[in-house]
Structure 1
């Protein structure tokens, strides 16, 4: 919802570029909280991912920022809010899963989908009051809208349900600081799909950006396979990390 609002204010270029920084922000904030991966081992993947994201979005951002206005500034602020919300969700989700180690990933995914459905139900009255649901009245015929509706359904099944299930499994098995870096591959896929849709080859910055992102993901995977990348946590520290605040401190 925040991304949609950001696009309405700032256009289709700036918000996706800002939201694309979620993996980098999540990697930094996640490792600040968990402190499980050595920063020295994270520096190369983070550097490559950041460089790649900047290069992929460079031309679009330069063009979009050329028409800076109060409306665009509001869109940028909403985009930053979207990044913060995504980061809070990922960290909260990780904490909740850590407190429930026996939770089945399919059950957890189903609960998230139910939560999303409740949010949609809350949003429906607002959408109805603003006329967003009156497709026929704003010139969109149902038979023309059917392909969009079908595409949305497929995206919901593959992107939301299957994606959430995969994220739940990853969140239970690897640190958030590394899991966040791996989801940057969505930017690569989005770039490829965008090039196919516009029937063109990538520019040199876009091509170098994709290569940099892929190298960053490969570096992150290498960190996962290197035992020395992870800090050793004592048994007492492990208990303190997962214990409630009221139990972690001694009454004395």
Structure 2
């Protein structure tokens, strides 16, 4: 449990970087950020695949198809939605919406465990509710100050913010499906290396990113878009940030999350995604050079408290039916 939690923490620290990219490269369209990041991820996975070639050869055709699905939904589409949302609504609103993932995933995992009759993974709602409530309240407090500033801005483009909110909700849908589906495969293949599975997802992401990047280039050329392809107006910062996010957030973050997913039940792992929200907020305030408001600090304390509470909750053992009298 402790090792799995530490791996989830490490994944959250890595994934928090993905919220920084659209802010540092605000002049780049979301398609360039998404396909650029995963093109870098796929290229990084190529030499890693050479070292894991024996384990990768053991993956079946069904395994590769599953990795492709996970890569498409959990990587490309998710980050396309997230980066577009951040560029349209700013950092706070998408962070708030994505920050609901711990609650949404935990609820979905518990509902699914109940519908499938997996008693070993289902938590009683009465015991799960306090941690979910603390996390939800913490998320609300963390974003209270930011949302107040947004509402007070007379120049705010509400239609643009609404579109950003819808895109962020799309990201939530993608990343509710991804960790549950990914955990299913890892727990069903406990003998397989999480590192190999992370590399496999990188390899399947590469052709998706190449097709997406090439399609973006052709579209910009056909529409005479004022955009300097292939690397945009700031090639070095773009390349550096894409490869940094590709290495740390995509490959290493996925590796750490796979390690956590093999050790933790889905409902608990879902709540530990809160580490990503905390990391993203920390990085955002570091970029601003500001100290968080008291309401934000109180929200962070509630988030941590909710996670600590969740770690103490254990599934109830299934009741053993008494034998019928003869």
Question: What is the TM-score normalised by the length of structure 1?
Answer: 0.80
1:213 aligns with 2:307: no
Q: How do 1:143-222 and structure 2 match up within 5 A?
A: 146-222=236-312
Does structure 2 retain, via aligned residues, the 8 Å contact 1:127–1:133?
no
Task: Point out where structure 1 has 5 or more consecutive residues left out of the alignment.
Answer: 224-228, 236-252
**Aligned in 2, Cα 1:25/1:141: closer, same or farther, shift over 3 Å?**
closer
**Aligned in 2, Cα 1:132/1:2: closer, same or farther, shift over 3 Å?**
farther
Query: 2:64 maps to which residue?
Result: none
- What SS does structure 1 have at the residue aligned with 2:136? helix
Q: Deviations over 1:114-150 (max 9, x none)?
A: 2222221121123212359725896x243xxx24432
Q: How do 1:28-177 and structure 2 match up within 5 A?
A: 28-35=107-114, 36-65=122-151, 67=156, 69-128=158-217, 129-130=219-220, 134=228, 140-142=233-235, 146-177=236-267
Does structure 1 retain, via aligned residues, the 8 Å contact 2:137–2:302?
yes
**Aligned in 2, Cα 1:193/1:9: closer, same or farther, shift over 3 Å?**
closer
Does structure 2 retain, via aligned residues, the 8 Å contact 1:23–1:182?
yes
Taking the aligned partners of 1:191 and 1:57, their CA distance within structure 2 comes to 10
Does structure 2 retain, via aligned residues, the 8 Å contact 1:13–1:64?
no
Q: How many residues align?
A: 226
Structure 1 residue 53: Cα displacement: 0.9
Structure 1 residue 178: Cα displacement: 0.5
Structure 1 residue 234: Cα displacement: 8.1
**Aligned in 2, Cα 1:7/1:206: closer, same or farther, shift over 3 Å?**
same
Q: CA RMSD in A?
A: 2.5
Taking the aligned partners of 1:189 and 1:174, their CA distance within structure 2 comes to 21
Q: Deviations over 1:23-53 (max 9, x none)?
A: 1111111111124222222212111111111
Deviating above 3 A after TM superposition, structure 1's stretches of 4 or more consecutive aligned residues are 65-68, 135-138
Taking the aligned partners of 1:120 and 1:136, their CA distance within structure 2 comes to 14
1:23 aligns with 2:102: yes
Taking the aligned partners of 1:172 and 1:127, their CA distance within structure 2 comes to 37
- What SS does structure 2 have at the residue aligned with 1:112? helix
**Aligned in 2, Cα 1:222/1:159: closer, same or farther, shift over 3 Å?**
same
**Aligned in 2, Cα 1:141/1:170: closer, same or farther, shift over 3 Å?**
closer
**Aligned in 2, Cα 1:234/1:191: closer, same or farther, shift over 3 Å?**
same
Question: What is the TM-score normalised by the length of structure 2?
Answer: 0.63
- What SS does structure 2 have at the residue aligned with 1:169? helix
- What SS does structure 1 have at the residue aligned with 2:228? coil
